Amino acid sequence: MVKKLFPAFLIGMAMIAAGCGSSEETATLSVDERFEKAKALFAKEDYLDAINEFTIITLQYQGSQHAADAQFYLGDCRFNRGEYLLAAFEYGVMKRSYPASARVAEAQYKLAMSYYQLSPRTSLDQQYTRKAIDEFQSFVEYYPTNPLAADAEAKIRELDGKLARKVYDAARQYVVLERLVAALRYFDDVIDQYHDTDWAPLAFLDKVDLLITRKKFVEAQTNLSQFFSRYPNSVLRGRADELQERLSRELKNAPPRTGMGTAALPEAPPLSRVE
């Protein structure tokens, strides 16, 4: 119910603000004059008064040539004030209401940037990180030749790294808690879902280390070989070589028909996946 009322609440508050900022002098302004006044307020970083003026244009002059730009400026006012959730809403309105505008691509990028600004540290819920990735991916998909596409792709890689870090940290925590099935599961999630991040090769080697410790030598060698194949120039190559030497020693000293990875790891209680 709150989500459904949120846009209506914003519009209602905007109308109240616009009404409060009106006067006999401004009431006689043409749409062109009002738009220029709003832009001047924006340039002076007087964002609240600019919001009032731009809102009047979007509500009273929806069919004017300035309506789309006014709606875009509303997003910029909110963004510059650090009101990123409101900014995302305004940019979304701009995209939906004025799909033919030349500013739609920029609105899509700024929508993604709004969620990017809301993305928290890795220990917290990452819903806005995922929203930012989705919006940046939409931007790259629809506007691949836009000059901002390269930056959007870089932001996607950065945010993917943040998600990978969260899953990797969960895996490490399970190692500390000796919930080894869960640890291996989360290392695999990093490797499979975030293979292009810096955390994937690290997860590979931590997984190999854990497998060797548990005397799962065949699985350890398989994963180590995959590491060498996927990341031949990794900065972690030195650690990988040390693990290979350790694994070779373990295999050499293993009794006959031992170390083939048949011992099952202890089962962990049911888990809730990392969000």
Task: Give tens-digit pLDDT for 151-186.
Answer: 999 999 999 999 999 999 999 999 999 999 999 999
Evaluate whether 135 touches 161 at the Cβ level (below 8 Å). no
Q: Distance (Å, rounded) from C-alpha 261 to C-alpha 215?
A: 7
Name residues of the chain where pLDDT drops below 50: 1-5, 8-9, 11, 14-18, 20-22, 258-273, 275
Distance CA 39, CA 261 (A): 69
In 41-77, which positions are buried (b, 16+ CB within 10 angstroms) versus exposed (e)?
A: bbeeeebebbbbbbbbbbeebeebebbbbbbbbbbbb
Give the whole-angstrom CA distance, residue 67 versus residue 74.
Answer: 11
pLDDT at 26 (0 to 100): 59
- Rounded distance, CA 275 to CA 124, Å? 9
User: What pLDDT score does 25 carry?
Assistant: 55
Query: Quick one: pLDDT at residue 254?
Result: 73
Q: Write down the H helix ranges in 61-148.
A: 67-80, 84-97, 104-118, 127-142
Structure tokens at 267: 């089962």
Give the chain's domains with CATH numbers.
2-98 (1.25.40.10), 178-253 (1.25.40.10)
The pLDDT of residue 163 is: 98
Query: Residue 154: CB partners within 8 Å, gap ≥ 6?
Result: none
pLDDT number for residue 224: 96
